[in-house]
Structure 1
């Protein structure tokens, strides 16, 4: 899913102003990953990271090099589970939320 620069800038501005939207964006990114839509999940989380802490702060907090994080969330990135869950844990702390997984019957 290719996003235009204007669209990304719009998302970033809204994330910075709207706490509920920011939390929903984080939730959506994680839900995409869990549902198997890894590409969309990475795009959403990359946009979330750009609009919040940034990759430099994320690298410092997780001790994962910036270049590795950028590759992880890039189009051909294939993040290791350990690194991905470390990033998700940090993003939840940053947002001051704890997302819970609930089971439901498939449609």
Structure 2
């Protein structure tokens, strides 16, 4: 019975740690989107096109290198960054074309 209780407590601690990591991840995503809003405003002011393919490749390449170094599947990171970049492009487009979201 004690082993089961210890196991449940350990699982609860690990889940609490995971919840904290998830909160940090979501906050980081929010900060990334906020930064992209500022970038979109700068691009708008200076007449820079929203889409910057070279920058996208640089960011995705950096993520792939990180994955290789830290044992994270690079295909997963590519898919993740496709989603993140897609959302930030959507937000930048709104800021540059239709006002601040």
| TM-score over 0.5 (shorter chain) | no
TM-score in terms of structure 1 length: 0.31
Pick 1 or 2: higher relative contact order, CA cutoff 8 A, min separation 6.
Answer: 2
More helix by share: 2
TM-score in terms of structure 2 length: 0.32
Which structure would you say has the larger Rg?
2
